[in-house]
Chains A and B, each alone.
Chain A
Amino acid sequence: MAHDLGFWTLQALNALQLSMLLFLLSIGLTVIFGLMHFVNLAHGSLYALGAYFAASLAAVGGYWTGFFLAPVAVAGVGILLYSGLIKRMRKSGSMAQVLVTFGLIFALLDLTRIFWGDLALAIEVPALLDGRLGFLGVEYPTYRLFIIALGLAIFGALAFVLGRTQIGAMIRAGVDNDAMAACLGINVERLFFIVFCVGCALAGLAGAVAAPLLSVTPDMGLQILIPTLIVIVIGGLGSLKGAIAGSLIYGFVQTFGAVLAPQLASVLIYALLAAVLVIKPVGLFPAKG
């Protein structure tokens, strides 16, 4: 092939940027599932809400207002959902949870249309991150590098919290065996609540950082949902390692697939998912052995 090194670097950076965006979404979803055994299909809708909040807030107070406040606002929505609906559904089967959150997708989709209309919104990239940066011999948009850095920073922070702190140990204990963790005096319910809020905030953050790259439309939550689910099923539910591995696999397969085999690109990732499910039905790095 007639592509030079710079081309591959560029594609690798694109893949990494997509992976990091998916990581921000999938980590919340996977830990919510691992800890609470709760299937939240509406996670994508929270991402869309994050983008909308960011767009509205950016119009008032500039990009950084949206960046910092959108996750808080989405976490607020998460608290409402948790106390109104999800707490009640905790003991139901996964089927009921899938259906309730599927209903939530419908409801949230139309609510965003009612509040923000059907037209796509756009956010300006902040002046600080506008422009391009020379990186390993290629010019790359600074904003995309910022997303990669942000994803890595969040990954580092979560790896530290989950692996090295007391609350991380409590979460891991809860994922492993929630009944036993409760017997040892851990308030598992409160832990769930905190994890759920953090997961929602991360989804909102993903929406806020994705907003300047994509146009903000009501169905952006639906579009991102399937990739996110693929990531967590390939990676294995409930683990940080699974989420980052799944995100990287998805990002690289999708990006390089589109370059190397455009005919097969869209089928490739689903075929990979099917292969993973046949060989390891619980994903590559499940939280529980």
Chain B
Amino acid sequence: MFRHNTLRYAVLIFLAGAALFQALTAGYFGLEILTEILVLAILVLALDIVAGFGGMVSLCHGALAGVGAYAYALLSAKAGIAPPVAMAGAVAVTGAAGWIIGAVCSRSHGIYFIMATLAFGQMAYSYVFEAPVFGGDDGLGGIERLDLSLIGLDLNDSRTFALFCLALLGAVYGAAVLILRSGLGRSLSGVMHNEQRMRALGLTVWRVKADVFGLSGMIAGLAGVLAAQHVMFISPGLLGWTVSGEALVVVILGGLGTLVGPLVGAAAFVVLKHELSAVTTYWHLVVGVILIAVVISRANGIFGWVEARWGARIERRVADATRKQQPGEVARDA
């Protein structure tokens, strides 16, 4: 089951503080990058829930986010539904898509699971690419952002939009922790560690997998909706398998199954991408080499490496510090 420790809390507070600082002080370009990080962070949280805590390595989360983005665009721009309802509708559609994919793929394991999710992702990609209603290769434009003028917020301002995304990321993180701590989340980690035993205990394994995949799909859908609102334009490229691959890379670079790690990974990936593409057009080469190095080093990503090295020590320090505040306990130990 997912637990917080001192290091995780510290990194979370640091990340939240840094994002808030950036959101309040940065110029237009900085805010764009921050929003990109926040949207990617929501997507990789969705992926970490299934891959890190359920062993379901999915190569369709980019496509799920794309489905969310297209569903929102169609509902709001084409069908003329009010943005808040369209947003909820898009999240629901993506959740349903995720549930179905999870249910269908629940019997596959390992490389077959990866391939099956890849197939579903590509299926969505080629359908969106071909069907005229989605605008084909040209994509869809004119996507509106949510109207929050009722509570005095103008989301067309990029600073407000970045803060809005940050608030949603916080909510999604909280939801992810709640999901993983619930009965469903505990069943999921049971299934990951020993599916046979969980089945023998009377658990309907495919339901657990499908439910979690559906919830994860909803989060991915939210990321897609925000991405669509951010850029106000969508194209089929959003659903391509390399987007899902990149999301997986971010999760791995950050630290699989830590929830905090993927957030670190998202920030590192986007900043690295922008810094490198300013220097060279061959930034894929650098990212590829870093990815290979991280996987070969056998560390669980950046955050996993830090946690394995210093996590235990920090934990001990904190425990010592709290003990010193209670002298009675020390005396009893001696």
Contacts and interface: CB of A to CB of B under 8 A. Distances in A.
B116 A274 contact: yes
Given A102-B249, A267-B127, A270-B120, A222 B285 contact: no
A52 B174 CA distance: 50
Contact of B295 (A96, A277, A278): A96
A114 B108 CA distance: 39
Contact of A266 (B118, B127, B295): B127
Q: How large is the interface on A (under 10, 10 to 19, 20 to 34, 35 or more residues)?
A: 35 or more
Contacts of B112: 233, 277, 281-282
Nearest to B287: A106
Interface string A108-138: 1111011000000000000000000000000
A243 B261 CA distance: 39
Contacts of B242: 222
Interface in B218-248: 241-242, 245, 248
Contact of A274 (B104, B131, B288): B104
Nearest to A108: B288
Interface string A62-102: 00000000000000000000000100110010111011101
A105 interface: yes
Interface string A220-257: 00100010011001000100000000000000000000
Interface in B159-200: none
A226 B249 CA distance: 18
A105 B130 CA distance: 27
A104 interface: yes
A222 B116 CA distance: 18
Nearest to A98: B114
B284 A106 contact: yes
A274 B103 CA distance: 12
B123 A107 contact: no
B295 A270 contact: no
Contacts of A85: 292, 296
A263 interface: yes
B111 A270 contact: no
Contact of B284 (A99, A107, A267, A270): A107
B134 interface: no
Interface string A261-281: 001011100110110011001
A102 B252 CA distance: 12
Contacts, number: 116
Given A95-B57, A105-B288, A222-B242, A274 B295 contact: no
Contacts of B110: 94
B292 A100 contact: yes
B292 A273 contact: no
A281 B127 contact: no
A99 B129 contact: no
A103 interface: yes
Given A99-B249, A229-B118, A267 B296 contact: no
Nearest to B104: A278
Q: How large is the interface on B (under 10, 10 to 19, 20 to 34, 35 or more residues)?
A: 35 or more
Contacts of A102: 245, 248-249, 288, 291
B111 A106 contact: no
Given A274-B116, A277-B105, A278-B104, A226 B282 contact: no
A39 interface: yes
Given A266-B130, A270-B123, A277 B116 contact: yes
B130 A270 contact: no
B119 A274 contact: yes
B241 A281 contact: no
B122 interface: yes
A133 to B, nearest CB: 34
A267 B126 contact: yes
B207 interface: no
A99 B250 CA distance: 11
A98 B291 CA distance: 11
Nearest to B240: A222
Contacts of B288: 102-110
A281 B108 contact: yes
A104 B119 CA distance: 21
Given A94-B110, A266-B129, A110 B123 contact: no
Interface string B271-282: 000000000011
Contacts of B107: 278, 281
B88 interface: no
Nearest to B126: A266
Interface of B: 57, 104-105, 107-108, 110-112, 114-116, 118-120, 122-123, 126-127, 129-131, 241-242, 245, 248-249, 252, 281-285, 287-292, 295-296
Given A99-B248, A110-B288, 17 more contacts: A94-B114, A98-B111, A99-B291, A103-B287, A103-B288, A107-B284, A110-B285, A113-B282, A114-B285, A233-B115, A237-B111, A266-B126, A267-B123, A267-B126, A277-B119, A278-B104, A281-B107
10 contacts: A99-B291, A106-B288, A107-B284, A108-B288, A110-B288, A114-B285, A229-B115, A263-B130, A277-B112, A277-B116
Going nearest first, the 5 A-B pairs with the smallest beta carbon separation are A106-B288, A266-B126, A270-B123, A103-B291, A107-B288
